Amino acid sequence: MTAHEIDYTIYGEEMQYVEIELDPQEGVVAEAGSFMMMDDGIKMETIFGDGSTKNEGFLGSILGAGKRILTGESLFMTAFYNNLVGKRKVSFASPYPGKIVPIDLTEYRGKFICQKDAFLCAAKGVSVGIEFSKRLGRGLFGGEGFIMQKLEGDGMAFVHAGGTMARKVLQPGEILRVDTGCIVGFTQDIDYDIEFIGGIKNTIFGGEGLFYAKLQGPGIVYIQSLPFSRLAGRIIASAPQAGGKQRGEGSILGGLGNILDGDNRF
């Protein structure tokens, strides 16, 4: 194996974290900001790119870091190593309510494709690269643009799904249509494209966007019920307006409700 062989335990229900057990000289890489806690004796190091064998050397490190810029991520990742004799543990937390999904890349022929903000951490040696879309529609309207992340190697990786996670196994030719933001990731054999919803009423009044993702099997797809963009949108919509007044929640009165509430400003 080129990747370090790590053991792990996932704790929690709504706000999960993954605890990774490192044998001597084993390591794990993680996105900046996902670290939760670690035992004494673990060395933390900021690295360019992902530190995999694909990105070894100065030029390889620069190319690996450049790939991360294309996906909108930071130039750097954080590596954690166990330099002592005994076993040590390090933990990483999910960024918002949801589920942490363990991905054994050996079960998926060494490659898994995911949304750019889904990756949490992985065994040292797993390559975190980019997956270009060759289809114009997917690139323009897919929500993730032409680029998604790809995890390659023979180790364990961990991705995060917001809300409740669904795992769908698609048979050859079987089609699943999904909101573009609800996709967490899928195996490399999945055929992924974007379709226009169609219909004037659906387009103008549907409130679900103009496009959805069409996923065709064979392969495995992971779906999340609460994308971060949807969560952030609800928070912004419920935030107090200027002057300290909160937006009416579901009220059909609109501005009339503010008048009845004693607010006569327009």
Q: Is 222 within a domain? A: yes
Share of residues in the chain with pLDDT > 70 (%): 68
**Cis geometry, peptide bond prior to residue 102 (ω within 30 degrees of 0):** no
Is the pLDDT higher at 225 or at 148? 225
Q: Is 249 within a domain? A: no
Q: Is 252 within a domain? A: no
Q: Is 205 within a domain? A: yes
Q: Is the pLDDT of residue 21 over 90?
A: yes
Structure tokens at 241: 């307006």
Residue 243: C-alpha distances to residues 33, 100, 240, 262, 266 (Å): 33, 39, 8, 13, 12
Considering only 22-31, 64-73, 192-201, which range has the smallest mean pLDDT? 64-73
Q: Is 265 within a domain? A: no
Task: Kindly report the average pLDDT of the chain as a whole number.
Answer: 78
Q: Is 37 within a domain? A: yes
* Amino acid at the residue 30: A
Considering only 30-34, 66-70, 237-241, which range has the smallest mean pLDDT? 66-70
Listed residue (185, 58, 177) closest to 122, CA to CA: 185
38-71 core/surface letters (b: 16 or more CB in 10 A; e: else): beeebeeeebbbbbbebbeeeebbeebbebbeeb
pLDDT at 128: 85
The CATH number that applies at residue 179 is 3.60.160.10
Q: Is the pLDDT of residue 27 over 80?
A: yes
pLDDT at 260: 44
pLDDT at 134: 57
Contact 76, 48 (CB under 8 A): yes
Q: Is the pLDDT of residue 252 over 50?
A: no
pLDDT at 117: 81
In this prediction the pTM is: 0.76
Structure tokens at 26: 């084993």
Q: What is the mean pLDDT of residues 26-44?
A: 91
29 pLDDT band (50/70/90 cuts)?
A: very high
Domain count, the chain: 1
Q: Is 247 within a domain? A: no
131 pLDDT band (50/70/90 cuts)?
A: confident
Q: Which domain holds residue 166?
A: 7-238
pLDDT at 232: 72
Q: Is 257 within a domain? A: no
Which residues are CB-contacts of 201 (< 8 A; sequence separation ≥ 6)?
none
Query: Can you tell me the distance from the alpha carbon of 62 to that of 56, in angstroms, rounded to the nearest whole number?
Result: 9
Q: What is the pLDDT of residues 87-128, one digit of tens each?
A: 999 999 988 889 999 999 999 999 999 987 889 999 998 988
